Amino acid sequence: MSLFTILNGPNLNLLGQRQPEIYGRETLADVEAACREIAVAEGHEIFFAQSNREYELIDWIHEARGKSAGIVINPGAFTHTSVAILDALNTFEAPVIEVHISNIHKREVFRHHSYVSTRAEGVIAGLGVEGYEMALRHLIGRLSR
Binding site for ligand CA2 (CB under 6 A): 11-12, 14-15, 18-19, 23, 74, 76-77, 79, 100-102, 104, 111
- Tell me if 103 is assigned to a ligand binding site: no
**Given 44, 55, 100, 115, the catalytic residue:** 100
Looking at the Cβ atoms of 19 and 90, the one nearer to ligand CA2 is: 19
- Tell me if 68 is assigned to a ligand binding site: no
CA distance to 43, 44, 114, per residue, from 36 (Å): 10, 9, 27
- Distance of closest approach, residue 58 Cβ to ligand CA2, in angstroms: 17
- Tell me if 137 is assigned to a ligand binding site: no
Contact (Cβ atoms closer than 8 angstroms) between residue 116 and residue 88:
no
Distance linking the first and last C-alpha atoms of the chain: 16
115 is catalytic: no
100 is catalytic: yes
How far, in whole angstroms, is CA 87 from its chain's centroid? Answer: 16
Looking at the Cβ atoms of 29 and 143, the one nearer to ligand CA2 is: 29
Strand order in the sheet with 122-125: 45-50, 3-8, 68-74, 96-100, 122-125
**If DSSP codes are grouped into helix, strand and coil, which group holds residue 143?**
helix
- Distance of closest approach, residue 140 Cβ to ligand CA2, in angstroms: 21
Looking at the Cβ atoms of 46 and 101, the one nearer to ligand CA2 is: 101
Contact (Cβ atoms closer than 8 angstroms) between residue 12 and residue 52:
no
- Distance of closest approach, residue 107 Cβ to ligand CA2, in angstroms: 7
Q: Given its phi and psi angles, is residue 11 left (phi above 0), alpha (psi -120 to 50 degrees) or beta?
A: left
Going by the annotation, the residues of the binding site for substrate are 74, 80, 87, 101-102, 111
> Would you please indicate which residues are annotated as catalytic (active-site) residues?
23, 100
